[in-house]
C-alpha cells in the first residue's frame, strides 16, 4: 500500500473510525522558488543579520563597499565570520567584483569559471 510507504508500517494497523495525528509543523509549502536576498554590510554587527538570512535558506548577495571604505580590517573580520558560517552550513561563498560577496546555503554552489 502506498500510504504505508509514506507513513510507515504502523499506518496499516489503523482501522476505520480511528485517526492518526500527523506532525505538519516541519513541513513547509514549497513554491519551488529559491529566495535570493540582497543585503549590505556597513558594520561588523550586520553579520548576525546576514548569517540568519543564510541559515534560513536564502542565497545572499552582500554589498561590502561601505565597510571596505570605512575599515578594511573590520571587513576582513566580518567576511571571515560569514565564511565560517558558510562552511558550517556546507554552503559556498565567493567574491563578486570588488564590492560584492555571494553566499549560498548547502543546496546551491557558486560555479567558478
The tens place of each residue's pLDDT in the chain, 113 residues long, gives 444 555 555 555 555 556 656 565 555 555 678 889 999 999 999 999 999 999 999 999 999 999 999 999 999 999 999 999 999 999 999 998 889 999 999 888 888 77
The whole-number pLDDT of residue 29 equals 52
Please answer whether residues 75 and 67 qualify as being in contact, where contact means their C-beta atoms are separated by less than 8 angstroms.
yes
Please answer whether residues 63 and 99 qualify as being in contact, where contact means their C-beta atoms are separated by less than 8 angstroms.
yes
- Under DSSP, is residue 46 helix (H, G, I), strand (E, B) or coil? helix
Q: Which domains does the chain have, with CATH numbers?
A: 33-113 (3.30.110.150)
Integer-rounded Cα Rg, in Å, for the chain is 21
The whole-number pLDDT of residue 104 equals 92
Name beta bridge partners: 105.
none
Amino acid at each position: 500500500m502506498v500510504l504505508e510507504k509514506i507513513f510507515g508500517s504502523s499506518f496499516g494497523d489503523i482501522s476505520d473510525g480511528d485517526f492518526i495525528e500527523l506532525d505538519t509543523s516541519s513541513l513547509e509549502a514549497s513554491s519551488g522558488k529559491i529566495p535570493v536576498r540582497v543585503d549590505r554590510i556597513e558594520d561588523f554587527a550586520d553579520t548576525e543579520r546576514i548569517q540568519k538570512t543564510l541559515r534560513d535558506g536564502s542565497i545572499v548577495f552582500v554589498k561590502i563597499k561601505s565597510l571596505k571604505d570605512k575599515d578594511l580590517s573590520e571587513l576582513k573580520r566580518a567576511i571571515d565570520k560569514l565564511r565560517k558560517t558558510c562552511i558550517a552550513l556546507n554552503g559556498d561563498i565567493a567574491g563578486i567584483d570588488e564590492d560584492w560577496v555571494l553566499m549560498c546555503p548547502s543546496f546551491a554552489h557558486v560555479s567558478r569559471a
